[in-house]
Amino acid sequence: TMHRILIANERSVTPETLELIRGLPSALDVPRREQALAASVLATKLGAATIVVISKHGITAKAVSNCRPLVPIHAFVDGESCCRKLMLVWGIVPHSIVFSQNTEQTLGRALAILRKEKAVRKGQRIVIVSDIHAGATAVMTIQIRTMA
């Protein structure tokens, strides 16, 4: 019967599987979720205009979205496919840009797009969530900047 099928299926689903199905960060990725929560709280307390997320695959952007910040989330991803997927995620305004080896260059491109679209104005604060690569190591960062 359908009841037996549902019970058997529910027993086979682990929390990790649910996270993958939902497209949310894995339960094993606690630092990423904490980074997202910190950025969301910081943006709200500072009255930031937006949260800018630089994310290769959109995982960090989804984690920030899951925190339901009170400001828009502008996610900059490397690829149209990922950009299209993020269009369905709560609160995210996705943008596809070409990533550079230099994180600051990538961020510069992202901020230029925000200025062009008039999503931010001079003097407004923004919160930036990204990974900065120091050699082979990725360092998770949250930055606060005032738009010039």
* pLDDT over threshold 80, residue 11: no
| Tens-digit pLDDT profile for residues 49-94 | 999 999 988 999 999 999 999 999 999 999 899 999 999 999 999 9
Q: What angle do CA 131, 93, 91 make, to 5 degrees?
A: 95
DSSP conformation letters of the chain: -HHHHHHHHHHH--HHHHHHHHTPPPTT-HHHHHHHHHHHHHHHHHT-SEEEEE-SSSHHHHHHHHT--SS-EEEEESSHHHHHHHTTSTTEEEEE----SSHHHHHHHHHHHHHHTTSS-TT-EEEEEEEEEETTEEEEEEEEEE--
Instruction: Identify the residue with better confidence: 145 or 135.
Output: 145
Q: pTM of the prediction?
A: 0.79
pLDDT at 53: 97
Backbone angles phi, psi at 87, to 5 degrees: -65, -20
pLDDT at 112: 96
| Tens-digit pLDDT profile for residues 92-141 | 999 999 998 888 899 999 999 999 999 999 999 999 999 887 778 888 99
* pLDDT over threshold 90, residue 28: no
